Structure 1
Amino acid sequence: MAPARTPVKSASDEPRPGLRERKKIRTRQAIRQAAYRLFDEQGYEATSVDRIAEEAEVSPSTVFRYFPTKEDIVLTDEYDPLLHAALVARPAEEPPATALRNAVVEVFEQAMSQDPGREPAEAHQRMRLVRDVPALRARMAEHMSATSRFLTSALAERTGLPEDALELRVCTGALLGALTEALFHWGEGDQTQELFEVVDVALRLVENGLNSAVTAPGPRGRR
């Protein structure tokens, strides 16, 4: 008889953050929202970190404690831990690319449903800024590289493949590339579709080919 499976949990089933972590999240959000207001009013280049700190009612050192650079204020969010949890929680029988697509769409849909007005507005402003500011495009490449590493690690846990396996690196790289293009496409359009729907379509375009390419010596999903 096959061993019983542990029920799969979604990212929304994760324990609620403690008071200290919720305060950190609120501070990060306050800094980010203050920065976005100022970027709209006076432009990205003309907005200093000192001015962002003043607008957010925190010290400049607090801004740098949460965001090492001004670019990180635009590019850093709370999605990575949620994405990791969602990916680990996907059913063991899902192929790697399918599990990654489902995890990404789940996290985006969850974020949009929690604050329907703010999240899409911030996502649109973020992509417009990244499109227009060379320093942000360069920093975004660094962020995507870090995201690729931790997603590759999570997929290695699921499949039993080594973290440096070419198949996993190509899988995460291709899907993150599709995700980036989906974000730009949505940000440049009229946004008649929900962001997570556009992301889902983009990831499905590359999913089938990746699933046939990524094979595992003995899948080790969450049980």
Structure 2
Amino acid sequence: MSLRDRQRADTRQRIQRQALRLFTDRGYDATTVNGVAAAAGVSAMTVYRNFPTKEDLVLYDDFDQLTAATIAELPATGSLTDRIGRTVVTILDLVATTEHDLLLARLRLMISTPALQARHLDSQFRLQEAFVNAIGPSQEYGARAAASAVLGVTHTALLRWAADDGEPDLADLFREAFTATFGHAP
């Protein structure tokens, strides 16, 4: 990653963290993009350049790219649900340890804000597409079905994790939900 790319990523992360802090402290509807810009020390135009909508300030993540890279690195063994499940466990382990507070704040906002609940489905669709594209066109239908099922299990684990204030191990919650659904661990 070039210096310029790292600076952009740092700016994006700073903006998002400030937005989440303000949304949590003041409420989603009471927080303006101008307020986020001021808190992050950037212009409103910089906020919009990085996050085209207010919802994107909460929902934006790199999970679709991370998903594609992770599933490509893991062994292509087992059923599609098992492959996708192993990918999700790897990502949850990484995110829950490196970005625990950010993920928890995002989840709480998604759960409690009606405008974000609907847009959350868009991010689920992007993740599904990332799995389908990484697995390949020859298995497109099966990959789509498996990804949808595993993402439903993931959603269940994330809701429980958020309800429990991010205390239990997120990957363990996912494994528990996966096992309850598919009869075995990923």
Pairwise same-fold verdict (TM > 0.5)? yes
Deviation at 1:208, TM superposition (A): 5.1
Matching of residues 123-134 of structure 1 within 5 Å: 123-134=103-114
> Structure 1 stretch 120-129 or stretch 175-184: which is displaced more?
120-129
Confirm or deny: 8 A CA contact 2:110 2:117 kept in the other structure.
Answer: yes
2:163 counterpart letter in structure 1: E
Confirm or deny: 8 A CA contact 2:65 2:130 kept in the other structure.
Answer: no
Q: 1:108 aligns with which of 64, 70, 92?
A: 92
Matching of residues 45-60 of structure 1 within 5 Å: 45-60=29-44
Partner of 2:5: 21
Confirm or deny: 8 A CA contact 1:175 1:206 kept in the other structure.
Answer: no
Give the Cα separation in 2 of the matches to 1:132 and 1:107: 24
Give the Cα separation in 2 of the matches to 1:109 and 1:152: 22
2:41 counterpart letter in structure 1: E
Larger radius of gyration: 1
Partner of 2:162: 187
Are 1:140 and 2:126 matched, yes or no? no
Are 1:177 and 2:152 matched, yes or no? yes
1:176 counterpart letter in structure 2: L
Partner of 2:66: 82
Deviation at 1:207, TM superposition (A): 4.1
Change (3 A) 1:65 1:208: farther
Q: Secondary structure at the match of 1:104?
A: helix
Give the Cα separation in 2 of the matches to 1:132 and 1:80: 23
Show structure 1 runs of 5+ residues with no match.
1-16, 212-223
Aligned residues: 185
Partner of 1:153: 133
Give the Cα separation in 2 of the matches to 1:19 and 1:108: 28
Q: 2:46 aligns with which of 48, 62, 79?
A: 62
The normalised TM-score by structure 1 is: 0.76
Identity %: 32
Give the Cα separation in 1 of the matches to 2:66 and 2:113: 27
